[in-house]
Structures are given as C-alpha cells and as structure tokens.
Amino acid sequence: MPPTIPDELIQLIIDNLAQETREGCAEDLLSCSLAHNALRHAAQKHLFETVQLWPSPPSLQDPPPYQAALDERALLFVQLLKKNPALGLHVRRLDYQVNQFPRNDEDRLDDLLQAIEMMPNVTDLTLGYRRIVVPWTEGHRMLMAPIPRELVFQNRKGTSGEDPHSRWKRAVVALIQRTQLKTLRLAKIRILPLYSLSPSIRTLYLQDSSFSLDRPLEPFENRCVKLESLNCEDDEAVNFVDDYLKAEEVGLPLPVTLDLSGLRRLGITALCGYHERWGRVLRRVGHLCELEVLGELHRAINEGVLTLTLRPQYTVLVLSSQKRRSPR
C-alpha cells in the first residue's frame, strides 16, 4: 500500500510555498493543483485568494490588445465561477475596475453580478474607473441635497429617470456594504454616497476619489466607520475630507460618522495650498503612529511655507516630493 501524506502536512507545504515572493510561485501552485486532488484543494485557496477583474464594455470596438486580454481573462473567470462556485469562497482580495459603468441592458451583466455574489468573503476591495475620472451620479455635486437610494439619474437637460447603470451600481453598493469588508480602495470614482460605506471598514484609500455627504430619502440609521488607516491622494480627496470635517463642526446631519480618533496611519498627497485643510485632520487624530507626506505639500514644508509639528508618538515619518501609487 503506497504511503499517504497527512492532510495537515500537505496544507503546510502548500502554505509555505504560497508565501514565496519569487517569480513563478503561482505556476508552482498551479502545477500542484494539477498533480493530485489533495494538492488541488489546498492550492486553490491561494490561487484564487487575489482576483483581478478588469472587463471592457461590449460597446468598445477594437480595444487595444492589453485591454482585450484583460477582458478575456475577466470573462474566463466569470465562466469558471459559474461552473465551480466554490472557487469564489477563496477570494479575499478583489481588484475590480471598469472602463465605463455597465448598462442595465448589457448581455453580460447578469453573469458579472452573479460572479460578484459568488465572492462573499472579500475583505480587501479595489474599485476603480480605468479611464477618466467619473462622477457616480451625473450632474450631482450639492453637499447635503437628499438623493434617493435607487440613485436617480439626472441628465444634462435636467430630466429624471432610472439610472441606466442602476443594477450594476446597486450591486457595487451592496459589495461595499458587506460586513466582511475591511479595506476599500477607490480610484477615479467621485461622489459615491458616503452611506455606502460598511461600518466594518478600517482602511480607506482615495485616489482622485470622493464621497458625497447626501442623505438618502428613505429612513436611514446613522452608522459609524472607525478608520485606522487613511490615505488620500490628489485634491479631490482633500476637498472631501475638508467638506466632511466642516459639516461635522457646524453640526450638519451626516449619513455616516467617520471616527478618526483611532487613526494610526495617515497618508497625504496634496498641493501646498491645501495645508490648512489637512490641519483639521491632524488636529483630530490623537494616536497617529505613521504619517506620510507626499507631493507639493512636502516641498512646502522644506521651504518653510508650512510647519509640521512632529509628535513623539510617530514611529514612521515619510517625507517625499514623489507621488506614490496606492498599494494593491
């Protein structure tokens, strides 16, 4: 009788292999998954832990080769989940970025939304727009104007009707509101309703993105989001944080409370003209351990335009004139 390897030892071998940072680690895990059933189940947990989903709209004619390849990979993954839904349970980090918001009548939308539902254990979500910056709701920028939960669409002529992207938007909001979600990264998406945030989120990255402070028309229970890490790049994020703090200071009703008292890490990328706004943030955090100052704000410190008061509790202080891309 051939010797058998205990399941615990198989899992330990695969787990250690997955921790390798060298190139080719994924290929090794794939080879293991093809070798034996026991190895396959252990390897799948790591192979599908991180998923990149970058589909292109069907209306995009003759996309560049790299976009076509990304779209093909996204479609293959969606079809794979339909055949084997259990694979979606392994996904912990999801990078989901689009060229344009999918329309309600797109043929592929049902499969895409079903695939999102099949990944219930996502704790780290990147949601982005890969082209120009886009507002979540067109024509909408008022600070405290009520907005329906179904995200009513307003066109340039001022007429109203159902948002042609409402099905996809509802699914994305439901994804952001999941109680398992701990980290949210937004890229080039502006005026996303703040009430979309899950109270479980602890880490928030905003890259040329922002939230609206609008209240839904329907009764809505205020929730508190206790952030531990906040990274804001570009002036759009600066403006949002400043709008929020000013609204809070004057006692305006807010749909969500952003609790910054427990913030441990703060990343700032901004123009030097915004230092007064970031002063509000620094005055609100009492236990900050890591501060990262990037861009022209750093140059303002060097030139004496802005004085940064160092606190003894800072364990890491990064000052750089170079912008750093948000980690994936």
Residue 126's pLDDT is: 96
Q: What is the pLDDT of residues 192-239, one digit of tens each?
A: 889 889 999 999 999 989 998 887 777 777 889 999 999 988 778 888
Residue 130's pLDDT is: 77
**Cα distance between residue 178 and residue 162, in whole Å:** 25
Asked if residues 111 and 81 have their Cβ atoms less than 8 Å apart, the reply is no
Two tokens, residue 269 = 């990328």
The answer, yes or no, to whether residue 12 has pLDDT greater than 60, is yes
Residue 153's pLDDT is: 32
Two tokens, residue 184 = 């949210």
Asked if residues 293 and 308 have their Cβ atoms less than 8 Å apart, the reply is yes
Question: Which strand (E) or helix (H) includes residue 47?
Answer: helix 37-47
Residue 285's nearest CA partner among 308, 262, 318, 306 is: 262
**Cα distance between residue 278 and residue 16, in whole Å:** 43
Residue 95 gets which letter from DSSP? E
269 half-sphere exposure, CB direction, 13 A CA radius: 20
Average pLDDT, the chain: 76
Lowest mean pLDDT among 26-40, 240-254, 279-293: 26-40
- Residues 162-182 have a mean pLDDT of 89
Chain position carrying tokens 């290929």: 27
Which 3 state secondary structure label does DSSP give 293?
Answer: strand
| pTM more than 0.95 | no
Q: What is the pLDDT of residues 109-154, one digit of tens each?
A: 899 999 999 999 999 999 988 776 556 665 444 333 333 333 333 3
Residue 16's pLDDT is: 67
Residue 94's pLDDT is: 96
Two tokens, residue 214 = 């609008």
The answer, yes or no, to whether residue 172 has pLDDT greater than 50, is yes
Rounded CA Rg of the chain? 22
Residue 299's pLDDT is: 54
| 300 burial type by CB count under 10 A (0-12 exposed, 13-18 middle, 19+ buried) | buried
Asked if residues 188 and 214 have their Cβ atoms less than 8 Å apart, the reply is no
Residue 145's pLDDT is: 37
Percent of the chain with pLDDT over 90: 26
282 half-sphere exposure, CB direction, 13 A CA radius: 18
- Residues 264-272 have a mean pLDDT of 76
The answer, yes or no, to whether residue 325 has pLDDT greater than 70, is no
Residue 196 gets which letter from DSSP? G
Residue 254's nearest CA partner among 284, 285, 212 is: 212
Q: What is the pLDDT of residues 28-51, one digit of tens each?
A: 666 666 666 667 677 778 788 889
**Cα distance between residue 208 and residue 212, in whole Å:** 14
Q: CA dihedral in degrees (203, 209, 215, 217; nearest 10)?
A: -120
**Cα distance between residue 159 and residue 146, in whole Å:** 17
